[in-house]
Amino acid sequence: MEFNKNVLYMNSENEVERIIGFIRNNVVERKKEGLVIGLSGGIDSALVSALCVRALGKEKVFGLVLPEKESNPVSRDYAEIHAKALGIRYEVNEITRELEAFGAYEKRDSIIMDLYPEYLPDKHRIKITLPGNILEKDGLNFFSLTIDDGKKVLFFERLKKHQINGIFAATDLKQRTRMMHLYYNAERMNRLVCGTTNRPETLQGYFVKCGDGGVDMEPIAHLYKTQVYQLSRHLGIPPEIIDRQPSPDTFNSQVGDEEFFFRMPYDKVDMFLYAWEHGIDMEEICNVMDLSKSQVERVLRDLTSKFRSTKHLRELPPSLLACR
């Protein structure tokens, strides 16, 4: 099996055509009148919405921008700029009130205050990260909490399992609330909800069940992030969106996907995933990526464990129906 730095390169025009066909078929087969898509201001949703417009025409694509008080303000701006450039109809629907009604911020903050009683939700910023670059150091996937005041770090500590569960349970409400609005709009207009999850996210379970993972179709779930970049340049996505650091945009202190989840830059994630999926042998991975055996082993272990622990997210819920 071939493995080199160019292995992820595709013929852009052919791939665009293939995806467009896929989108069109699904909408037609399911007798729907179009698509609803959440625009985050990031590259994935920018690319998917551009592909949808190519597939169906701009009248059949409806964009929804769903910011909340902790979103990066730039995200909303970029989402709107992009929607206007595509010429699609879109709405901005703030979800802060719902998150407050649920107590999403409060519940998360109370866990943080148990750890750091001086925490001031209105003044301080927080983020959650995994240990640094996995190529440089080992260490299991323990999440840490960082609190800063915009200038200096006030608090940094590894979180216990029940603390991280509590924090994610609260912050996942952001993705789930967005899902509800996407479906409300899709159902009232008899449309499908289009997802924006890419291949590394899909395979590693970097999405929220019944949140950004709860959609009707995923037109770029087969694309590595490198390929998302390639197609985005091909379709002329605005450079400021392409050049943004990929981020979950869930915490008010900006944190990238690398720090938060993958523990390496996307180009490396892609290459490793490709090698792992295609069973490339160790020696070749080491050669092509110029890394030691122990580094590669560490990464492959991490990929495998994330893949396994999130397997149920990619499957239908089990029932006893099959064993009738």
The contact set with another protein (CB under 8 A) reads 18-19, 22, 26, 30, 97-98, 100-102, 161-162, 165-166, 168-170, 172-173, 176-177, 179-181, 183-190, 195, 197, 202, 209-210, 213-219, 221-222, 312, 314-321, 324
Q: Cα–Cα distance between 307 and 69 in angstroms, integer? A: 32
Q: How far is the CB of 193 from another protein (least distance, A)?
A: 9
Q: How far is the CB of 301 from another protein (least distance, A)?
A: 18
Structure-block tokens of residue 15: 């791939």
Q: Which residue has 């069940």 as its token pair?
A: 209
CA 240 to the chain's CA centroid: 18
Nearer to another protein, 34 or 289 (CB): 34
Nearer to another protein, 32 or 268 (CB): 32
DSSP character for 207?
A: S
Q: How far is the CB of 261 from another protein (least distance, A)?
A: 17
**Residue 36's beta-bridge partner residues?**
62, 193
Q: How far is the CB of 244 from another protein (least distance, A)?
A: 25
Q: How far is the CB of 220 from another protein (least distance, A)?
A: 8
Q: How far is the CB of 25 from another protein (least distance, A)?
A: 9
Nearer to another protein, 93 or 254 (CB): 93
**Phi, psi for 91 (deg, rounded to 5):** -135, 150
Nearer to another protein, 125 or 176 (CB): 176
Nearer to another protein, 185 or 289 (CB): 185
* Beta pairing class for 144-148 and 125-129: antiparallel
Nearer to another protein, 189 or 235 (CB): 189
Q: How far is the CB of 227 from another protein (least distance, A)?
A: 12
Give the contacts of 200 (CB within 8 A, at least 6 positions apart): 206, 224, 225, 262, 266, 269, 270, 273
Look at residues 49, 56, 53 and name the one whose alpha carbon lies nearest to residue 79: 49
Determine contact, residues 310/205, Cβ cutoff 8 Å. yes
Nearer to another protein, 56 or 289 (CB): 56
Give the contacts of 60 (CB within 8 A, at least 6 positions apart): 27, 33, 34, 35, 52, 191
Q: How far is the CB of 285 from another protein (least distance, A)?
A: 24
Give the contacts of 102 (CB within 8 A, at least 6 positions apart): 173, 177
Strand order across the 35-38 sheet: 89-92, 61-65, 35-38, 192-194
Nearer to another protein, 258 or 270 (CB): 270
235: exposed, middle or buried (Cβ count in 10 Å: 0-12, 13-18, 19+): middle
